[in-house]
Structure 1
Amino acid sequence: MMSDIRLFPRLVVPDPELASAFYQAALGAEQVFSAPPTDDGRPSVIDHRVGGASFRVSPAVAAWGWLSPDDLGGSAVLLEVEVGDPDAVGERMVAHGAEVVVPIENRPYGKRSGRVRDPFGHLWIISGELKPDGR
């Protein structure tokens, strides 16, 4: 096993600064680094930390093969976050521009979960513990 490997998912978006603001407001992500703007005025990468995880956002650049979900006609990846209160996180994401794809509810597989599409087309599964009353 290779314990020296670290994984940093990178979300490709049209506007990294707008996406960074969304992830900070909706998920409580902390921006830890932003590269200086490139020739087109957008940073090539913005690093974030949320809980014990890190992720990056970068601009869509077709010449590099960096395509956003809109360029692809949908998201090719599901991002799953496990949180203490999935309802609150889902509501906060929607309040900042995400849309509900699958409502957050108790599921027969023992989790409370649902799915939202963020304003940049990325799909997020938000899950947590079951609610005893199911609401």
Structure 2
Amino acid sequence: MTELTPYLCVSDCEIAVDWYVESLGAVVVYPPIVMPDGRTGHVELAVDGARWMMSDEFVELGVMAPDPSRGAAVTLHLTVTDVDALCRQVVAGGVELDRGPEDSPPAGRVAVFRDPFGHRWFLNQPAPEDVGAGA
């Protein structure tokens, strides 16, 4: 089996975990490994089984959080059952939406936002006719 799992870097992993849990409904599926210097070296989260890994910055290893002034090099695409509800949570978490929520045939209902840690997310709620088709 081949699998691709994003590994995000954030400037404050402890705060990021709390935000993702509260605003995206994420769950911690692998607890934080805290390094001797207090930085989080690894943690894993998931939203309805969609998993990602995360750590604090380790500049000495070339691991750095995104620079929001440069835009986003990567977008995280998250398929959800209710884009509008998740957007309300994200906005309540202090984020402005870049796009949507809106209907965007044939993709379904979509929205885009940048989280407080510089990562760009594309939310997608497949059109009802596409749900069973593996879209």
Residue identity opposite 1:107 in structure 2: S
Is the Cα–Cα contact under 8 Å of residues 105 and 113 in structure 1 kept in the other structure?
A: yes
Residue 101 (1) aligns with residue 110 (2): no
Structure 1 segment 80-91 matched on structure 2, within 5 A = 80-91=77-88
> After alignment, is 68-77 or 52-61 more displaced?
68-77
1:44 partner SS: strand
Tell me the residue number matched to 1:20: 17
**5+ long unaligned stretches in structure 2:** 129-135
Report the aligned-residue RMSD. 2.0
Q: How many residues align?
A: 128
**5+ long unaligned stretches in structure 1:** none
Greater fraction of residues in strand? 2
After superposing on structure 2, the runs of 4+ consecutive aligned residues of structure 1 that deviate more than 6 Å are none
Residue identity opposite 2:50 in structure 1: A
Residue 37 (1) aligns with residue 34 (2): yes
Q: Which of 46, 69, 73 is residue 76 of structure 1 equivalent to?
A: 73
Is the Cα–Cα contact under 8 Å of residues 10 and 57 in structure 1 kept in the other structure?
A: yes
Identity of aligned residues (%): 34
